[in-house]
Amino acid sequence: MSEADQVYELEKESRHLIETVAALRDSLDRAELARANAVTEAVQEANQEIVQLKTMAQTLREQMDALVLEQEESVQRTRAEYAGENSLLKQTVQQLRDELEQARLDRAQSEQKILGELSGQNRVLEETIASLRTELEINTLDYEDKIRELERNADSDQQELRDTVTVLRAQLERDHDKA
């Protein structure tokens, strides 16, 4: 092969290498552009997901706050109901005591009148009085037991509501920590 042919072959090979390098540069530029676009798209998707998660966390916080408020209001209503009921029971017990006391006074006056008139019925009246006293004590004990039971129930309900609020707060904190 002549020197001119060798130069021609070298020039041809050189042009081929230059075209190959240019093609590889174009391919590399396209790959770099595609990678940059993919990274940008992934960052945008991650940002959108973060915004969605923040929105969801805020919504859950608001729901949890509403639930806590609702339960606190429920506790207050329950306390008010039990306080009113306890007050009513105490008034009823006092009224019954007053009525029984008045009944005792009335009976005592009646007994005095009857004793003055009929001394023979004294024993029957004493038995009646003893029976009424026993009934009064039983009624008084029954009402006091009912009052104590209502107070225990109210305390139990209040403790249960406190426990529920504590559990919900702990759950809210865990959910908040996870977010």
pLDDT above 60 (res 12) = yes
116, two tokens: 């003055």
CA dist list (Å): 2 to 7, 8, 11: 9, 10, 14
Q: What's the whole-model pTM score? A: 0.35
pLDDT at 61: 92
- Greatest Cα pair distance in the chain: 167
Report the chain's mean pLDDT, rounded to a whole number: 86
Q: Please state, in angstroms and rounded to a whole number, the distance separating the CA atoms of residues 85 and 153.
A: 12
d(CA 39, CA 26): 20
| Contact of 71 with 165, CB cutoff 8 Å | yes
Calculate the alpha carbon distances from 103 to 121, 135, 136 in Å: 19, 13, 11
Helix, strand and coil content of the chain, in percent to the nearest 5, comes to 100, 0, 0
User: pLDDT per residue over 159-178, tens digit each?
Assistant: 888 888 898 888 888 888 87
* Residue 93 backbone phi and psi in degrees, to 5: -60, -45
Instruction: Give me the percent of the chain exceeding a pLDDT of 70.
Output: 94
Task: Give the model confidence (pLDDT) of 72-127 as tens digits.
Answer: 988 888 888 877 787 888 888 899 899 989 988 988 888 777 657 766 556 776 88
Q: Within 10 A of 139 (CB to CB), how many other CB atoms are there?
A: 14
Q: Is the pLDDT of residue 16 over 90?
A: yes
- For the chain, the structural domain boundaries read 3-178
Confidence of residue 8 (pLDDT cuts 50, 70, 90): confident
Q: 1 or 68: whose pLDDT is higher? A: 68
Quick one: tokens of 142? 């029954």
Distance CA 21, CA 15 (A): 10
Give the pair of three-digit tokens for residue 74: 């429920």
Look at residue 114 in the predicted model and tell me its pLDDT: 66
| pLDDT score for 30 | 92
* Distance between CA atoms of residues 41 and 116, nearest Å: 110
